[in-house]
Chain A
Amino acid sequence: MTAPAGSLLVAEGLRKAYGPTVALDGAEFSIHPGEVVAVMGPSGSGKSTLLHCLAGIVTPDAGTILYDGRDLARMNDAQRSALRRSEFGFVFQFGQLVPELTCVENVALPLRLNGTPRKKAEQTALEWMRRLEVHDLAGKRPGEVSGGQGQRVAVARALVTGPRVLFADEPTGALDSLNGERVMELLTESARSSGTAVVLVTHEARVAAYSDREIVVRDGKSRDMERIV
């Protein structure tokens, strides 16, 4: 594999089909530590499947994915789960907070699952909530906060373990312009200041404008625009 030097996460020749439907057809990807890369393309182009493969959620039919030099295909389920829990963070469009838990408990959850004691986990969670400007919502439940606030809580939860890669799939898809922008500002600022790479799937140009470069996915094939222009 001829990955760009210093890449943290690299994929080459990814193929994935769901029955007769080909979602990925030779897609490639690479990201450096601390870099924000937008994955763009029309609906159904394969961009979410690419994200799921890169994050080890979906196993590709063919191709290679290397994370920090390690081949994802050679890891067992437990190793991949551990990777997702400790080194990867996730933000989706909606429906990701546990409704029964308070916001600070939601943010602290990944740390608790990794064995961090409650008090320490909630202290760290509050620090992240402060960075995302939602610390005053600590005691509220997700149903009591707005969509934009809930999404910032979700970003805090995704970053609380200090992941090296944050996977964000249409993170502002359910928000209005102003809330979406604030989420993107805080998400990219927080990720950049902590050296976290961000794989940002979006079909919105204004969201992609927060990235360092973009990859376009069309019909399951990817194009790295930086290497073309």
Chain B
Amino acid sequence: MCTVVLMSIGHTLLGLLESGPRHGYDLKRAFDEKFGHDRPLHYGQVYSTMSRLLKHGLVEVDGIEAGDGPERKRYAITDAGITDVERWLATPEKPEPYLQSTLYTKVVLALLTHRNAADILDTQRAEHLRSMRILTDRKRKGDLADQLICDHALFHLEADLRWLELTAARLDKLRQAVVSS
């Protein structure tokens, strides 16, 4: 399953709006280019997400263009929307296998919006280590089955952490790539 689907499309679209107002189509294109990989967003997903964000006051309609087809709305992020993105970026993800794709999105968005991406990585590292401490303690007190189950989880978390370290070491390079694309 594509991890992009699992993450918050709403927050990602909000984050993309921070650089300036966009039409739904532009949003879809930017999303697909940066995060869609081989699973582009459906138009329906974009418009239903934007209606939800509009309803919650996280975006507003910045202008409407009439054309041959249906009206084209241009969306802008509100102050409440910026706060919402801020909160999402600052909240560590619950550690689970393969979450680095969500983390990747957070790091790229942080770089795009000139936030501190290193902070996001550090906060996530602390959350992972917290889980690893719990598992290590359980392993120490448990039987062989417990030890093997905990080891399995520990190795996955360790792989995530190695990715966090590697990304932290490559932040400058990633910033250049993200900003220039």
Contact = CB atoms under 8 A, between A and B. Distances in A.
Contact of B158 (A205, A218, A225, A226): A205
B125 A216 contact: yes
A42 B161 CA distance: 12
Contacts of A208: 129, 132
Contacts of B154: 206, 209
Interface residues of B, number: 23
Interface stretch (B31-39, B49-57, B69-77, B133-141): B133-141
Given A205-B158, A206-B154, A209-B154, A228 B132 contact: no
A210 interface: yes
Interface string A207-229: 01111001010100001011011
Interface in A140-184: none
Interface string A188-216: 00000000000000000110111100101
Given A185-B140, A205-B157, A223 B122 contact: yes
B93 interface: no
Nearest to A212: B133
A92 to B, nearest CB: 23
- Interface of A: prevailing SS: mixed
A228 B123 CA distance: 8
A225 B126 CA distance: 6
Contact of A209 (B118, B127, B132): B132
B28 interface: no
A229 B136 contact: no
B86 interface: no
B127 A206 contact: no
- Interface of B: prevailing SS: helix
A218 B122 CA distance: 11
A91 B28 CA distance: 56
Given A205-B132, A209-B129, A209-B136, A216 B122 contact: yes
A216 B165 CA distance: 11
Contacts of A225: 122, 125-126, 129
Contacts of B162: 205
B128 A205 contact: yes
Contact of B126 (A206, A209, A228): A228
* 8 pairs of A and B residues whose beta carbons are closest in the complex: A209-B132, A225-B126, A209-B136, A205-B161, A229-B126, A205-B158, A209-B133, A206-B158
27 contacts: A42-B165, A42-B168, A42-B169, A205-B128, A205-B129, A205-B132, A205-B157, A205-B158, A205-B162, A206-B154, A206-B158, A208-B129, A209-B129, A209-B132, A209-B135, A209-B154, A211-B133, A214-B126, A214-B129, A216-B122, A216-B125, A218-B118, A225-B125, A226-B126, A228-B126, A229-B123, A229-B127
